[in-house]
Chains A and B, each alone.
Chain A
Amino acid sequence: MSTNLKIAWRNLWRNKRRTLITVASIFFGVLLSAYMTSMQEGSYEKMVDMVVKYYSGSMQVHHENYWESKSINDTFEDNDSLRQKILAHNEVDFLIPRLESFALASSRELTKGVLVLGIEPEPENRLTSLKSNVRSGTYLDEKDQGLLIGEGLANYLRLGVNDTLVLISQGYHGISAAGKYPIRGIIKHASPELNKMIVYMTLPVCQDFFSAPNRLSSLVVNIKDNDLLQRSLKKLRADLTSPYSIMSWQEMSPEMVQQIESDRAGGIIMKAVLYIVIGFGILGTIMMMIAERRREFGVMVAIGMQRYKLATILFYETVFIGMIGALSGLLVSIPLLSFQAQNPIPLTGQAAQLMEDYGFEPYMFFSLAPSVFWHQALTVFLITLLIAFYPIFSANRMKLINALHA
């Protein structure tokens, strides 16, 4: 260990209680900040998951007018050349075709507006793990003539497995669409909102119901690495020309992106306040350490220590305090948040009701994204670096003769 590091380390423990209090303030700051960030990011991840994993996928190809009109008339014809063109991009993992529209669903006495989704059961399951959400009955097979309906919808219509659901809608180019279908299974959709209104059928049955043979409203494009979404989107967009358009999940759900951004900004302000308090705590300690040792610094410079070396020792001391606090905070927050991620906090009462009304599961979810942790460490490190300017400034500005008489 170099002498400067040794002096810095030992100086830290000259006043153990003060050092430990400062370290504790950083520890709790990092812990609280990581906890808060994890909870925020966990909620966002869940929201994004609900949209991306259980519904929209990373990107979707539509007819260029579809997103505006949401009409079955603005669908496009499924064709191999389109699929091959998309799959030719290395980053694309797989495609899921869908036909999506609205209908009225009726049981004996009750009727409700529903979202009808025509799917290819196996590819759909690959994205949404829909099969595992079947609560009763069975999942659809490729040639199935039956339906899967959301649990909330089944409860509302008072229907169960093997009961019949009647659907009425308007098909392609105004053709009447009507049919009755057996319910094969009841699913619990991750989105409480969709749980109350979703009806799945196989793609051919759906195309037949809407009189839109071989037509799709969307082709969900899944990529291998979601971090490369924007790059992949740019490449695909360059390749897909009229009458197609391709949209990312962010473009399809701008209100959610905005909600996340504004919520994140609120969190940043909270954390900034927390870190400002911690920063002044560290600064106070460093100022005390310098004030108490002015004569000692004077002696060190008098006997031949260059001021920059003295500043280096003080810099090490500042960094040591920051590192001990930040590392201990991380060491505790990692297992704590791992536990919380496995055991999300259930919400009850009105809070739970409110979450469900907005279409979310009534839980506080936690994220284990590495950024939750390293952002805190980086923030403390940057604060420490900023504070370390004070001792550097102080050492350079010290009047030797005054310091020796301090």
Chain B
Amino acid sequence: MTIISINNLFKTYKDSEIEVHAVNGIDLSIDEGEFTAIVGPSGSGKTTLLNMLGGLDQPSSGTIRIDQTELAQLKSSQLIDFRMKNIGFVFQSYNLIPVLTAKENVEFVMHLQGRPKKEREERTMQLLEAVGLKGRENSRPAKLSGGQQQRVAVARALASKPRFVLADEPTANLDSKSTENLLNIMEELNRQEKITFIFSTHDQRVVNKAHRVITLEDGKIINDNRKNS
């Protein structure tokens, strides 16, 4: 079942008189439960595409539909609500809220969703256990290693039970062991909970784990390779 459908998507930046097409006419659809990596050299448009998929940036033209919702039709506040309910984010530099503990960071989105306290606590503990951070729930981000912080970020992204997770270079700041751990956790969650993951990455280890690899160059898809899982 297709959850993301992109049609003729453009993102153009004007730098003085020169127009730069960061995304240059992309058509793409992503099915539920995919574990997809978007790869390409720097400036190929990976992050721009991911930002538009997440409703963080507006396309210059073209449409993005998530299920049956066209993102461009949503008002700013509706878009925020839509993200909260449907999309999980994992950022390159973790971006946890520094004044909240690991547990509070994971609970945060559920709190925004207005979920009951008991449900929040149960799901938080379940997710922290899944990402191997049981026992560190009361630590603030500054007390956690980069790998641990990124695992909290994954748990946070999954807390709201999103339709899909967008991860922008999630392993860029991690060592090999942490990268391996994180990828195993995400792969496990993808398999068990059927959560769709979309990565933008340079990291070959991520590419090796992905079930589908989309290669971008100059804002265009030049290769879309589905592996047999």
Contacts and interface: CB of A to CB of B under 8 A. Distances in A.
Contact of A299 (B80, B95, B111): B95
A378 interface: no
A401 B51 contact: yes
A238 to B, nearest CB: 60
A302 B97 CA distance: 12
Given A10-B99, A296-B97, A302 B113 contact: no
A288 B84 CA distance: 28
B95 A296 contact: yes
A307 B77 CA distance: 8
A269 interface: no
B108 A3 contact: yes
The range of chain A's interface size is 20 to 34
Given A3-B108, A11-B99, A303-B156, 20 more contacts: A6-B104, A7-B97, A7-B99, A7-B100, A299-B95, A299-B97, A300-B97, A301-B80, A302-B54, A302-B56, A303-B83, A303-B84, A303-B109, A304-B160, A305-B80, A306-B80, A309-B112, A400-B56, A400-B57, A401-B51
Determine the main DSSP class of A at the interface with B.
helix
A225 to B, nearest CB: 51
Given A3-B108, A304-B113, A401 B80 contact: no
Nearest to B113: A304
Interface in A305-331: 305-307, 309
A289 to B, nearest CB: 12
A103 B108 CA distance: 86
B97 A401 contact: no
Contacts of B95: 295-296, 299
Contacts of A400: 56-57
A305 B100 contact: no
Interface string B74-94: 001100110111000101000
A306 B84 CA distance: 10
Nearest to B77: A306
A124 to B, nearest CB: 68
Contacts of A307: 76-77, 80
22 contacts: A3-B104, A3-B108, A6-B104, A7-B97, A7-B99, A10-B99, A14-B98, A295-B95, A296-B97, A300-B97, A303-B84, A303-B109, A304-B81, A304-B109, A305-B84, A306-B81, A307-B76, A307-B77, A309-B112, A400-B56, A401-B57, A404-B91
Contacts of B51: 401, 404
Contacts, number: 60
Contacts of A14: 98-99
Contact of B80 (A3, A11, A304): A304
Interface residues of B, number: 26
Given A400-B56, A401-B51, A303 B108 contact: yes
Interface of A: 3, 6-7, 10-11, 14, 295-296, 299-307, 309, 400-401, 404
B84 A304 contact: yes
Contacts of A296: 95, 97-98
A400 B91 CA distance: 14
Determine the main DSSP class of B at the interface with A.
helix
A11 B99 CA distance: 6
Contacts of B111: 3
Which of A7, A299, A304, A404: most chain B Cβ within 10 A?
Answer: A304
Contacts of B83: 302-304
Contacts of B56: 302, 400-401, 404
A306 B95 CA distance: 18
Contacts of A306: 77, 80-81
Which of B77, B84, B99, B100: most chain A Cβ within 10 A?
Answer: B99
A11 to B, nearest CB: 6
Nearest to B156: A303
Nearest to A295: B95
Contacts of B77: 306-307
Nearest to B166: A302
Interface string B106-135: 001101110000000000000000000000
Nearest to A400: B56
A304 B83 CA distance: 6
A231 to B, nearest CB: 51
A304 B87 CA distance: 9
A305 B108 CA distance: 9
Contacts of A7: 97, 99-100
A158 to B, nearest CB: 79
A231 B206 CA distance: 83
Contacts of A303: 83-84, 89, 108-109, 112, 156
Contacts of A302: 54, 56, 83, 89
Contacts of B109: 303-304
Nearest to B95: A299
A6 B111 CA distance: 13
Contact of B112 (A6, A11, A305): A305
Contacts of B97: 7, 296, 299-300
A295 B97 CA distance: 10
Nearest to A12: B99
B51 to A, nearest CB: 6
Contacts of A11: 99
Interface string B47-67: 000010010110000000000
Contacts of B113: 304
Contacts of B85: 304
A51 B180 CA distance: 88
Interface string B149-161: 0000000100010
Contacts of A3: 104, 108, 111
A296 B81 CA distance: 18
Contacts of B76: 307
